[in-house]
Amino acid sequence: MGVNTEKYKEILKELNGKATLVAVSKTKPVEDLQALYDLGQRDFGENYVQELVDKQAVLPKDIRWHFIGHLQSNKVKFISPFVHLVHGVDSGNLLAEINKQAIKNNRVIDCLLQVYIATEETKFGFDEAELQNVQWCNYPNVRIKGLMGMASFSNDMELVKNEFKQLKKLYDQLPAQGIQPTILSMGMSGDFKMAIDEGSNMVRIGSLLFGERNYNK
Ligand SMILES: *Cc1c(COP(=O)(O)O)cnc(C)c1O
């Protein structure tokens, strides 16, 4: 438990202002988030709606909360009053629901479309063809800021690199669809340096900062 302060500083130095660091704090106690907050961190990423809502209630109000998990439509309402950026939008239905809840809260919610780039079956997201058919303009209270993707969990760094390249290519094609993207969210603890080299400007880092996660506590 606890925050690795040295690692935090090292990562910020490595990013050198080229990418936003989202500190992924799922399963970690609020004390750990507060410790990182006290070092100046403001962007935090969570995967579970209830956990995010509980943490948001007790932590400083100027934290920018990123939802990076798989979001179910029926839970959008719980985070829509305050969420800063939803990274994992992977269906038109979800976009419609986010739009609806954004209207209720009288705000615009920023979103990233999640693209399926990995070889694994378990990861969510649009494929290339689906991405081109997203009817984003039907949802005035949703603002598509860019793309998010997760590379394969693999030691084959050539594979990972090619997946990042593929995501960057799709990102660069968004203007042809009328989207002017500014955020490419790719890279985690194990691959963020390569992600930056391949054009990422937002990395989601958990275990390097907070240590390994224990889901069985
Ligand atoms: C958990 C998670 C991360 C952080 O993973 P680490 O390997 O601990 O850095 C990043 N992105 C998503 C979508 C995650 O679910």
- Is 99 among the domain residues? yes
Q: Is 173 in the pocket of ligand 1 (CB under 6 A)?
A: no
At residue 74, what are phi and psi to the nearest 5 degrees? Answer: -75, -5
Would you say 123 and 148 are in contact if contact means Cβ atoms under 8 Å apart? no
C-alpha 138/C-alpha 196 separation (Å) is: 32
pTM, to two decimals: 0.96
Is the pLDDT at 23 greater than 90? The verdict is: yes
- Is 216 among the domain residues? no
Q: Is 144 in the pocket of ligand 1 (CB under 6 A)?
A: no
Among 14-18, 51-55, 125-129, 197-201, name the one with the lowest average pLDDT. 125-129
Query: In whole angstroms, what separates CA 182 from the centre of its chain?
Result: 14
User: What CATH number is attached to the domain comprising 56?
Assistant: 3.20.20.10
Q: What is the mean pLDDT of residues 27-37?
A: 97
Which DSSP symbol is given to 135? -
pLDDT given for residue 1 in this prediction: 62
Is the pLDDT at 85 greater than 60? The verdict is: yes
- Is 165 among the domain residues? yes
- Is 140 among the domain residues? yes
- Is 87 among the domain residues? yes
Q: Find the domain containing 79 and state its range.
A: 5-210
- Is 217 among the domain residues? no
Helices (H), 16-156: 30-38, 49-58, 76-79, 92-104, 128-132
Domain count of the fold of the chain: 1
Is the pLDDT at 217 greater than 80? The verdict is: no
Amino acid at 23: A
Shortest-distance atom of ligand 1 to CA 192: 9
Burial of 15 (0-12, 13-18, 19+ CB in 10 A): buried
3-state percent helix, strand, coil for the chain, nearest multiple of 5: 40, 20, 40
Q: Is 203 in the pocket of ligand 1 (CB under 6 A)?
A: no
Q: Is 118 in the pocket of ligand 1 (CB under 6 A)?
A: no
Taking only the tens place, the pLDDT of each residue in 117-159 is 887 766 689 988 899 888 888 899 999 999 999 998 888 999 9
Average pLDDT score over the chain: 94
- Is 136 among the domain residues? yes
Taking only the tens place, the pLDDT of each residue in 165-203 is 999 999 999 999 999 999 999 999 999 999 999 999 999
